[in-house]
Amino acid sequence: MSNSNPAPVKSDVTGVTDVTASNGGGYSDNATENAHVTGVTVMPLAPAETEPTSLTEPEISRPCFQTHDDWFQLNGRKCQPGLYWHGVKDKGEEETPVDDWIGSPIHAAAMTHDEHGSSHGLLLKYTDPQGRWKSWAAPMALLAGGGDELMRELLNNGFRFDLRKKNLFQQWMMSRKPKEQITAATCTGWSRDEKAFVLPSRTIGNQKISYQSEHAAPDTYKEAGTLEGWRDNIAALCVGNPVLMLAVSTAFAGPLLLKAKRQFNGGGGIHLVGDSGTGKTGAAQAAATVWGGPDYVMTWRATGNGLEATAAARNDTLLPLDEIGESNAHEIGATVYALANGLGKQRAARSGGARLSARWRIVVLSTGEHTLSTHIKKAGGGAKIKAGQEARLLDIRVDNRTHGAYDNLHGYPNGAAFNSAIKERSSQDYGKAGAAFVEALLNDDTDRAQQYSELCSLSGFSARDGVEARAASTFALIGMAGEVATEYDLTGWPEGAALTTAFDMYASWQGNRGEGRTETRQILDTVTEFIETHGDSRFSEIHPTETDPVKASGQGRAGYWEDTNEGRVFLFTAAGLNEATKGFDMRRVADALDAEGWLLGKERSKVRKAGGKNTRLYSVLPKDSEQ
């Protein structure tokens, strides 16, 4: 390879920018390439093994890198398409041309960086062996350490190169300075200025923003069929089916977390609960068609870290997770918190410093045969659902409709046939509605935040405590999403149908939850359960007779009892009450018992003579309740 440094020369080969060595040994671009070909698109490019009948000989100013998109002729030789190094080699007093094929056709369409001037990269356009053009905003940081990570991603997605020319390829990468510059978005969803919505394969809105990732992975936001086909084949089946309408409305709610709710991290979700074969998975598949194909539905069978990465990749859209029973019962509570709070774990960088935690806004649509509370209990050790978890993933019983999860079969003979039809149709028309919804939002100046605030104040979303208030806000957002999609003529549903469904499902959730704060109900339940289990073996009359059942049982005393006009009062020792309500703070326990009228006396605990000695006791009188 020559080390001479002639002045830059511009060549015009197939309309592609060519570069040559510049003074000082670096490289410079002399024109701007077409920057906005994104995603995997089929182009009329002949595969490498197909040679055209007539070949042209391009003008080449050596030394230079040059990309040829088609077969060409050089000094009478046929040359395959690709990226070349056209150099010279000194041979005595003569210079011999050197034409090294480096790899498949590839272009640097634009320089990329994030809003803070970091995460620099290049928007690469390249071909795979099938002749398809692909694009990837590749971080320049992947060139570090020999560039193996960069080459691995390109190879995995069809780029081919000469293994002996790896250094030449890296020099080509480092020499690219296209004039076009775009903002690199490192996650999907709304841009910082809310003027663009970024998907891995394309950007809706401001085209100066493009998705950039360390992985040139296949796009999960796939499309097939038509929007009209989706409306007729999927959305139409939701009419008369509240569970389906709720699920599909949930799919539209993601973009409104920021636009309407003004929520910058986190989100929430619903959990469809029902027996196997009742249609809950069919509802999730129907919802997934808003954004992608059948493989858009994920499974709960993943680690917490894996779900964090998935949530970040689905930012501002929908995360459907099938069968909660496949998740780890010990981790599910923390995972629900993480998904709904929108913040990943803090991790150390390779250099030892702290890496930026992943963030996301997401709406989760979960399915399972058991409620979240039941699944958490499988972990054992007295594990119970917390109020915050209950508010973040809302259990909706769906197997109590006319035909499993469905009410209107739209002419199908039974629920199974209807469910099969949903799955079949979900593989034909998908991925169009979500993009159309976002595009309409970008062109809509309606104050959606004000509209959402007004919806939340409707009587149908009234709440009795903080948990219900949070749940009501989620149902209000879902109902609004369905109504806005209908307003944009995407669903074909009657006006008000989605909102009515949200009202009804919220009321159903309230009814299944019962009255009172979650933790209060749990405390009352644990106290009742403890008394029913140990009332005869670990409590004795406050003035015991010669036969003490506690001493006889050898299990340790939890307290005493005495009969009053109101009923039998259980006098818990502090240790006994703490054991009975393990996992709850004692002050919170006393607050709950006092608020429900289960604690007797002006003072919450009182020193009394019991068993021949003075002991501080909590007087608890359990009451019949529906809680």
Cβ pair 253, 481 in contact under 8 A: yes
Tell me the pLDDT band of 465, cut-offs 50, 70 and 90.
confident
Predicted confidence (pLDDT) per residue in 190-241, tens digit: 998 899 999 988 899 998 888 888 766 567 899 999 999 999 999 999 999 9
pLDDT band at 251 (very low <50, low <70, confident <90, very high): very high
**Dist. CA 472–CA 498, nearest whole Å:** 15
Q: Can you point out the beta strands (E) in 186-286?
A: 189-190, 196-198, 203-205, 209-211, 266-273
Q: How confident is the model at residue 601 (pLDDT cuts 50, 70, 90)?
A: confident
**Does the pLDDT of residue 144 top 60, yes or no?**
yes
Give per-residue pLDDT as tens, 359-400: 899 999 999 998 888 888 777 766 777 777 888 999 999 988
Give φ, ψ of 167 to 5 degrees.
-65, -40
Under the banding of pLDDT at 50, 70 and 90, the label for residue 250 is very high
Taking alpha carbons only, the member of 556, 285, 504, 264 closest to residue 397 is 504
| pLDDT (0 to 100) of residue 518 | 65
For the segment 295-324, what is each residue's pLDDT rounded down to a tens digit?
Answer: 999 999 887 778 888 898 899 999 999 999
Helices (H), 37-189: 148-156, 166-175
Rg for the chain, CA atoms, rounded: 33
In whole angstroms, what is the distance from residue 406 CA to residue 462 CA? Answer: 27
pTM of the entire structure?
A: 0.71
With cut-offs at 50, 70 and 90, classify the pLDDT of residue 51: low
List the strands of the sheet with 613-620, edge to edge: 539-541, 559-564, 567-573, 613-620, 606-610
Query: Rounded to an integer, what distance in angstroms lies between the CA atom of residue 399 and that of residue 277?
Result: 9
Answer whether residue 59 shows pLDDT above 60. Answer: yes
Confidence at residue 210, expressed as pLDDT on a 0 to 100 scale: 84
Quick one: average pLDDT of 259-270? Answer: 94
8 pLDDT above the threshold of 60 = no
Tens of pLDDT, residues 502-518: 999 999 998 887 555 56
550 pLDDT tier (thresholds 50, 70, 90): confident
| pLDDT at residue 184, rounded to an integer | 83
Q: What is the mean pLDDT of residues 553-567?
A: 88
The residue with greater pLDDT, 506 or 30, is: 506
Residue 510, SS3 per DSSP: helix
d(CA 157, CA 161): 12
DSSP string, 376-407: HHTT-TT----HHHHHHEEEEE-TTBTBBTBS
329-365 pLDDT, tens digit each: 888 888 999 899 988 776 555 444 445 567 899 999 9
Going by pLDDT thresholds of 50, 70 and 90, the confidence category of residue 551 is confident
Digit-coded pLDDT (tens) for 474-500: 999 999 999 999 999 999 999 999 999
Question: 3-class DSSP state for residue 16?
Answer: strand
Question: Once rounded to an integer, what is the mean pLDDT over residues 524-552?
Answer: 85
Share of the chain above pLDDT 90, in %: 59
% of the chain with per-residue pLDDT over 70? 87
Please tell me the predicted confidence (pLDDT) of residue 47.
Answer: 45
CA distances from 286 to 295, 415, 480, 510 (A): 12, 15, 19, 25
Three-state DSSP class for residue 298: strand
Binned at pLDDT 50, 70 and 90, residue 546 comes out as low
The structure tokens listed for 569 are 């009062």
Quick check: 255 pLDDT over 60? yes
Asked whether the beta carbons of 524 and 627 are under 8 A apart, the reply is yes
Domain boundaries in the chain? 19-179, 227-513, 518-620
Average pLDDT, the chain: 85
Among residues 524, 517, 405, 521, which one has the least CA distance to residue 471? 517
Could you report how far apart the first and last alpha carbons of the chain are, in Å? 82
